[in-house]
Amino acid sequence: MTSLATTDTPLGEVLDTELAARIEKAFDHRTIGDLLHTLPRRYREHGQRFDKKSLVVGERVTVIGTVQSSRSRMYQTKNGKGRREMVTLTVDDGGTVFTVVFFAGSRIKHMLPVGTLAMFDGTLSTFGSKLDLKHPEFLVLRAVSGPTGALRGSGDLAQLAKLSAKVEAEGGESLFDRTYLPVYAAKDGVTSWDLFGAVYTALRALVPVVDPLDPAVRAAAGLMGLDEALRKAHLPVAAGEYKAAGYRLRFDEALALQLLLGARRRFLARDPAPPSPVRSDGIRAAMLQRMPFELTDGQKSVLSDISTDLARDEPMNRLLQGEVGSGKTVVALLAMLQVVDAERQCVLLAPTEVLAVQHHRSLRGMLGDLGEGGQLGAPDCATRVVLLTGSMSTAERRDALLQIVTGEAGIIVGTHALIQDSVDFFDLGMVVVDEQHRFGVRQRDRLRTKGRDRMVPHLLAMTATPIPRTIAMTVFGDLEVSELGELPGGRRPIATSVVPARERPEWLTRVWKRIREEADEGHRSYVVCSRIDAAGEDEPGGKRVDNDGSRPDPVAAVELYKFLTEGPLEGLRIGLMHGRLPPEEKDAAMADFASGRLDVLVSTTVIEVGVDVPEATVMAVMDADRFGVSQLHQLRGRVGRGGLPGLCLLVTTAHSGGKAMERLSAVAGTTDGFVLAQLDLQQRREGDVLGDAQSGALSALRLLSIVEDGEVIEIARRHAEEILESDPGLDAHPALAERVRRLVGSEESEYLFKY
């Protein structure tokens, strides 16, 4: 082992080989730097009292307290071949009393007499109203009897004590005399104290770390130096130190991410875009004159920003996010028509065939004869809207490709099939990506390379899953963000109710009666399930949230369709749609529902986004607790789109008072998508909500929370812009450049080094 180390030194050169191997296996840490960027989950302070509300049964806790009482009794072992002595201690940490139980305590009771100050580390449980630690590891901190300085303890705490004794022998401070004792998250056989010992050993060997940030940046951002931060994060003397240290290390991650995204923005802005100024006599103007409704102020404002971007020769990179039904598609259509007026083509990329077909039908319907370019009687300014999906027949595909390459098609709607190399455009001027979070960075870029004469098409990304602005700024850091908050005229608020089917089965009966009543009025209803069939297959790409196994199995679409057809909805026209059906059957089911040939559509989440049936008034979501908050909000947005009152019924067998019911009540309590998105992000991992496809760099973030660290992200973004303005390739900042390169899995890091 070496006595001196840098952050790049392998763990095995500083730590015991076996411990280094265990840490690498559990945490994927290979170097000293990796290890030191694993921060404590909390700090145990000498004399600190536990807040009972913060204690979680089943979690591992560390208690430092005094033994108040001790009692023992004999019990028969399970095999009946012997008797053991069980010792029960009451330990007071200065405010909370714990019961500590040792099942084989004949020796331990002599090591922990009344009055002993000791540390106990174990899993918290309860017995009645008492807090229990059963057979925890322990370490005597202050004995009431026995030889002075004798080590008395068990497990990893005893090993930690040995380390402390070694440190003291070498002139260091006892680890247990420190005011703050770090507590790390245990994982796969590596305990908190394993990590503490490893970190302490690593810090003693670590030479001063070179700070990659300029002193001016550190001063402006109020940052602690990196070397000090790495040490104070683990071995603080005061609370302010570990808070400042954690802030510095989170800032470093935020800065690296923002440098990467900023470099991407600059790289993409280098190539020219096809300018498409607004015309007063083209198809866009004709469409505006024909529209049967007035654009909202929000739509007008966003459209103005987009129109200004499209008129420039610099590629537009804009994210349009807004409420379900806020009118994003209308804005996108008018923007595409502005590009068509410049005699260029537009692509609308959808994540599923169902949504692509729906968009194609919707755009054709809105345009009318303005979408019948080349046909007899069509206006001179008319264009053509073409659909391209992977399931089309060879003849259909050949015809679509021909219209695309010749320029006959001004607007092309499709799925991932549009990204393939075999698709050539006549003159692609704009790409619209619907449900942006379903596509990765490279998928977006594939279409950006299909412009004519090295021109980069303008990009408009859309999402109906609202994301708080600071988060959108991080995940979609290469995009300008526009928001649509208000609903267009005629849209009615949607009433939402939770239906506790297990506790109030008569309410579920009422659900089916309400759907029948809506059908009698000429209205239509969705019934959505999380599962396709009883075999347990879920909709591909679904976001199901499992229950705890104590409730009935989830309702399957295939079985529910049969039950409703033969039971409570007998006589109504009911259709079935899910992801395993052939495309033509899905299209037929959706077309029948949209036209009124069906009263009820039993479906999985393939109708989650974009589907627009104005006569649909009821959305019944079965096993609603199995869906995320944002997904429920999306499903709710499928009804109430035609001026009729909408009703969303969240059917669940979840226990009342539990987290699942709390989540459903929150959805029922507000229709504000931004409020619900924040709730979703707080309750679930960011990757679950946003999708890992957004940025490979996100998977490399160890300390930064894009939900909680918005302020850090904003400050880091500002400094990243200043650095890139004077040094776009980071040639004068090699340490920062290396940090960006180390964003493991990042798809975009190449952009930083293309200058």
Domains, the chain, with CATH or none? 46-156 (2.40.50.140), 250-270+701-753 (no CATH), 283-484 (3.40.50.300), 494-670 (3.40.50.300)
- Residue of 454, 461, 457 whose CA lies nearest to 344: 457
Q: Which of 411-425, 477-491, 530-544 has the lowest mean pLDDT?
A: 530-544
- Once rounded to an integer, what is the mean pLDDT over residues 136-161? 78
- Residue of 477, 478, 425, 475 whose CA lies nearest to 447: 425
Residues 403, 407, 412, CA angle at the centre, nearest 5°? 65
DSSP 493-552: PEEEEEEETTT-HHHHHHHHHHHHHHHHTT-EEEEE-SBSSTT-PBPTT-------SSSP
Q: What is the pLDDT of residue 755?
A: 43
* 590-633 pLDDT, tens digit each: 889 988 999 999 998 877 555 678 899 999 999 999 888 878 88
**CA pair distance 520, 510, nearest whole angstrom:** 15
Can you say how many angstroms the Cα of residue 411 is from the centroid of all Cα atoms in its chain? Answer: 32
> Residue 667 has which token pair?
């959805």
Pairing of strands 97-102, 83-92: antiparallel
* 688-704 pLDDT, tens digit each: 444 444 445 555 677 88
- Residue of 242, 187, 201 whose CA lies nearest to 1: 201
Residue type, 402: L
Q: Which of 56-60, 312-316, 430-434, 517-521 has the lowest mean pLDDT?
A: 56-60
Q: What's the sign of the alpha-carbon dihedral 268, 273, 279, 281?
A: negative
Q: What is the pLDDT of residue 244?
A: 96
- Once rounded to an integer, what is the mean pLDDT over residues 77-102? 86
Q: What is the pLDDT of residue 549?
A: 47
Q: What is the pLDDT of residue 590?
A: 86
Q: Which of 199-203, 368-372, 413-417, 533-537 has the lowest mean pLDDT?
A: 533-537
Can you say how many angstroms the Cα of residue 170 is from the centroid of all Cα atoms in its chain? Answer: 47
* 326-357 pLDDT, tens digit each: 788 899 999 999 999 999 999 999 888 878 88
**CA pair distance 705, 628, nearest whole angstrom:** 19
Strands (E), 391-464: 411-414, 428-433, 458-463
What is the pLDDT of the chain when averaged over all its residues?
Answer: 84
Q: Which of 212-221, 231-240, 399-408, 742-751 has the lowest mean pLDDT?
A: 742-751
Strands (E), 352-503: 385-388, 411-414, 428-433, 458-463, 480-484, 494-500
Residue type, 543: K
> Residue 659 has which token pair?
């987290």
Q: Which helix (H) or strand (E) holds 221?
A: helix 215-221
* 510-520 pLDDT, tens digit each: 999 999 999 99
- Once rounded to an integer, what is the mean pLDDT over residues 697-721? 79
Q: Could you tell me which residues come within 8 angstroms of residue 222 by beta carbon, excluding any fewer than 6 positions away?
A: none
- Once rounded to an integer, what is the mean pLDDT over residues 199-219? 92
Q: Which of 295-304, 358-367, 375-384, 473-482 has the lowest mean pLDDT?
A: 473-482
Three-state secondary-structure class, residue 452: helix
